[in-house]
Amino acid sequence: MVDMLFTAVTMLIMIPVALFAGILYVFLFRKLSARFQWRVGPVVSMYKDLAPLLGASRILQPLYDILKLFGKDTPVPDISRKTIFIASPYLAFICAFLAIFFIPFPGVPLLSTMEESLVIASYLLIGAVMFTILGAASSGSPWGAIGARRDIEIFLIYELGFVVALFSVGLVAGSLSLWEIATRPGLPMLILNPFAAVLLFLVIIGKLAIKPLDMAEAEAEIVAGPFTEYGGKYLGLFQLAKAFLFYDMVALFIALFLAPTLNSILWLPVYIIAVVVILFFITVMQVLHPRFQIAKAMSWYGRWVLVFGVLTAMMVLVLRFYWVV
């Protein structure tokens, strides 16, 4: 009874924590991208003459953008498949939101103690992207359809890498419980199987549509791609889902490959450092690459996912059959 109460309380606490973390990650991503390109970007401390009008800081700017959308009209195209078009943003948000409860936080297992929490988290994170694609395909817009097609082509590649990366860790750890994986003794999985870590990083780039894999949202070519016909609260739900997805993917990477940081709440400073390092490398990918054409993206991305997928599988065989772990 006490354990159930503790889990319920920590789950309630994690909702604002994950929301703030996701918003902060988006802010840091925007800020680092701007600084790498010699731009100011969103300011941490507002200029004194503008502070009375705009507030003391823009750290919560991504949240302000989302809240503004919820105050606008929400049009639904007459030619869309209305049920799917309307349900998709809700379902994408629900999947990204529920995933936070199956990924542990430093010293807080949440629902990651479940025997199949790794499987549940993977399905939810797949669903968060899948419903975004489904909504675009149902919009009736040619730009939405093109964006959805580009999304699904990349989706098929990174989801294959996603499954290989996740279950390679599960095989080595001998468990599908994220909490058991995160608290297992021995060397971190980042050292035991760095190929799987690189593979999951490539998956993160795809799921979050980081350059060079943002062809589906190429504004100069197809307006806003999957989101062309979305506005108001529906677009706000998609952006809120992406903020949670940002948190989910970073937290999942740490849970799988930097497990010692989750053993106790005392590891929180190290966890924060790990988050900043991961966001740094994500931003480096964003600023160093131009947007690829879809054919080139498929070739480039598919090649690297295949290479690191094979290397990951080979390393799992070595670790399992030669009893290194």
Residues 281 and 295: their CA atoms lie apart, in Å, by 25
pLDDT surpasses 60 at 220: no
Residues 243 and 196: their CA atoms lie apart, in Å, by 24
| Residues 172-181: tens digit of each pLDDT | 888 888 888 8
Distance (Å) of CA 2 to CA 21, 24, 106, 107: 28, 32, 20, 16
Instruction: State residue 109 phi and psi, 5-degree precision.
Output: -75, -25
The per-residue pLDDT for 290 is 72
The per-residue pLDDT for 57 is 65
Question: Degrees (nearest 5) of the Cα angle 99, 310, 303?
Answer: 85
pLDDT surpasses 80 at 292: no
Q: Give residue 305's pLDDT band: very low, low, confident or very high (50, 70, 90).
A: confident
| Residues 98-107: tens digit of each pLDDT | 999 999 988 8
Residues 308 and 195: their CA atoms lie apart, in Å, by 6
Q: Which of 225, 232, 249 is nearest to 132 (CA)?
A: 225
Residues 220 and 58: their CA atoms lie apart, in Å, by 27
Average pLDDT of the chain to the nearest whole number? 82
- The mean per-residue pLDDT over the stretch 117-134 comes to 90
| Residues 230-270: tens digit of each pLDDT | 778 888 898 899 999 999 999 999 999 987 777 777 778 88
The per-residue pLDDT for 196 is 92
**Residue for token pair 């750890």:** 173
79: tokens are 């030619």
Radius of gyration from C-alpha coordinates of the chain: 20
**Residue for token pair 């909702």:** 15
The per-residue pLDDT for 323 is 57
Q: Where does 174-213 have alpha helices with state H?
A: 178-182, 189-192, 194-207
Could you count the other beta carbons within 10 Å of the beta carbon of residue 236?
22
Q: Which of 193, 324, 325 is nearest to 256 (CA)?
A: 193
Are the C-beta atoms of residues 117 and 125 closer than 8 Å to each other?
no
64: tokens are 């302000």
Residues 127 and 156: their CA atoms lie apart, in Å, by 13
- The mean per-residue pLDDT over the stretch 124-140 comes to 85
